Amino acid sequence: MSRSVLLNEAADLIEWLFDQKRKLETESTQAYARINELTGQVNSLCWEKHDQAEEIAMQAAQLRKLEAKNAELRKILSELTAACKASPF
């Protein structure tokens, strides 16, 4: 092979390599953009679930208070029922 043929092939190879590099850079940029987008979605979901968990915890605390009040009212009702049964009226 002549020197000019080798130089042309080398130039073609270098051009091809630079094209491949540009393609990889583009794909890499797109991949990072997608990763950032997905990370944002995951963070949003995490905050949403966190907020839901806080709401559930508050509702559970309210439910425990209502259950305690219910138990107190049942006790009073039971005492009143017993008093009524014991009453001569």
pTM attached to this predicted model = 0.58
> Per-residue pLDDT averaged across 45-68, rounded?
98
Rounded to 10 degrees, the C-alpha dihedral 73/75/79/82 comes to: 110
Q: Supply the pLDDT for residue 79.
A: 95
* Mean residue pLDDT across the chain: 96
Per-residue pLDDT, 56: 98
Q: What does the pLDDT read at residue 87? A: 83
pLDDT band, very low/low/confident/very high, at 1 (cuts 50, 70, 90) = confident
HEC assignment per residue over 6-68: HHHHHHHHHHHHHHHHHHHHHHHHHHHHHHHHHHHHHHHHHHHHHHHHHHHHHHHHHHHHHHH
